[in-house]
Homo-oligomer: A and B are copies of this chain.
Amino acid sequence: MRGEERVWKGLSKGQQTREAIVAQGLLTAAREGLGAISIGRLAKELRMSKSGLFLHFGSKEKLELAVVEQALVQFLGHVLKRAEDDQLRGIERLWSHCDAWLDFVEHGPFPGGYFFTGVFFQTAKQNGPIPRLIRGAVRNWIDALEEAAKQARAREEIKTDTDTQEVAFELNSILLGAQWSHLMTGRDYTNARTTILSKFRSWAAEEIPEKAFRSVKAWKVYLANRDGRAGK
Contact = CB atoms under 8 A, between A and B. Distances in A.
A52 interface: no
A118 B126 CA distance: 13
Helix, strand, loop or mixed for chain A's interface?
Answer: helix
Contacts of A191: 166
B138 A112 contact: no
B176 A120 contact: no
Interface residues of A, number: 39
Interface string A33-44: 111000000000
A139 interface: yes
Interface stretch (A8-16, A84-92, A179-187): A179-187
Contacts of A179: 121
Given A118-B121, A119-B118, A125-B114, A178 B184 contact: no
B177 A172 contact: yes
Given A118-B118, A123-B33, A180 B176 contact: yes
A184 B168 CA distance: 12
Given A118-B119, A178-B173, A125 B139 contact: no
Nearest to A170: B177
Contacts of A111: 125
Given A173-B177, A177-B172, A184-B135, A125 B142 contact: no
Q: Which of A122, A125, A170 has the most chain B CB atoms closer than 10 A to its own CB?
A: A122
B170 A126 contact: no
A121 B117 contact: yes
26 contacts: A31-B125, A31-B126, A35-B35, A111-B125, A114-B121, A114-B122, A114-B124, A114-B125, A115-B122, A118-B118, A118-B119, A118-B120, A121-B180, A121-B183, A125-B183, A135-B184, A139-B184, A142-B184, A170-B177, A172-B181, A173-B174, A173-B177, A174-B177, A176-B177, A176-B180, A177-B177
